[in-house]
Chain A
Amino acid sequence: MAESVNQTQNFLKGIVKENPIFVMLLGMCPTLGVTSSAFNGLGMGVATMFVLIMSNIVVSLVKSQIPSKVRIPAFIIIIASFVTIVEMILEAFVPFLYEQLGIFIPLIVVNCIILGRAESFASKNNALSSLIDGLGMGLGFTLALTILGATREILGNGSVFGFKFVPADANTFILFILPPGAFIALAYLTVLFNKSTTKTT
């Protein structure tokens, strides 16, 4: 029983208490770079989540085989392999998303969340805990990216996931789908997130 409670906490911490974007500020490049629409944010989140879960599992399985001096390069190779898999899958099956995310797909390799979890969690815990940790962190990341993408899309384009809810000739804050909007939207979302989490605790 205690074990299962522990796993639930393990899962939930990635979503709220240690949310990779709003609390830990990891992986900022894709966060700001691809979130010009909710769909792109979701796609990036899912791709990252896949890499995070798989690399967490593999790292936790092989951790005892890797000498600690070369562990970082070894982790990077494991992560890069999964990123290459994601890159190929996206190119073959979702070419539209592949085009949209562009350079940020190979850059999942240098996303600090993944290496960070491999180093601080997966290299110390068993495969199941690592899987759940990856799932929680990945969901937290995906959620944050989707919210940021949706916010920018609503304000900047008057649509959510591509469905427009304002007249075609309506004026929208185009600023929010341009680069500066990413910084500004994230700034205010972080304020909101901090405000709501400090109230509940």
Chain B
Amino acid sequence: MDYIIILIAAVFVNNIVLAQFLGICPFLGVSSKVSTSVGMSGAVLFVMTIATMATYLLHQYILVPAGLDYLRTITFILVIAALVQMVEIMLKKVSPPLYQALGVFLPLITTNCAVLGVAILALGLEGGSLLKAVFFAVSNSLGFALALIVFASIREHLELANIPKGMKGVPINLLVAGLLSLAFLGFTGLV
């Protein structure tokens, strides 16, 4: 039951992009086509899950016993940056088709605040365990994927729309994101 609540909360109620504002850069940056947004979502799912697992273990078994909790920010960002690099190298060798699909997005993910954000948020989960933290990361990346893909589909339609001159480009995209966020607000109180 706990896990179902985590899933629904992360995907709909507290959507990582539309309610918590994490990962806005890729949300606005790589959402002009549905196909690229699917690739980006896949890369985020992959990296976020592995990164949360690594940082959770690091925090639990090294930082806390050693009393180095204040080094959290520095160590986490380094682990994530190294991990992304490693995943990229390994993927290239082990699974070239997957690398083809996700490759270009991987370097972008280091500066994706959603990954670091989820890694930090996962530490504060109630009755936390490694499994729960990983499940939390998976749920959040599904939430990210949902928001990104829906947003990209709307943007594809916007290409054909007649938009006032001053609103073209960034403002109209922000406005669409605002309306999308408004729609997700309807899920409040679900869990």
Contact = CB atoms under 8 A, between A and B. Distances in A.
B125 interface: no
B77 interface: yes
A106 interface: yes
B contacts with A: majority SS = helix
B117 interface: yes
Contact of B170 (A25, A30, A87, A182): A25
B22 A29 contact: yes
B78 A179 contact: no
A28 B25 contact: yes
Contacts of A188: 171
Contacts of B111: 110, 112, 115
B72 interface: yes
A77 interface: yes
A107 B116 contact: yes
A179 B175 contact: no
Contacts of B167: 187, 191
A29 B166 contact: no
Nearest to A81: B74
Contact of B70 (A25, A32, A77, A88): A88
B22 A180 contact: no
B85 to A, nearest CB: 9
A84 B63 CA distance: 15
Contact of A182 (B21, B22, B23, B74): B21
Interface of B: 18-25, 28, 70-74, 76-78, 81, 110-113, 116-117, 120-121, 166-167, 170-172, 174-175, 177-179, 181-182, 185
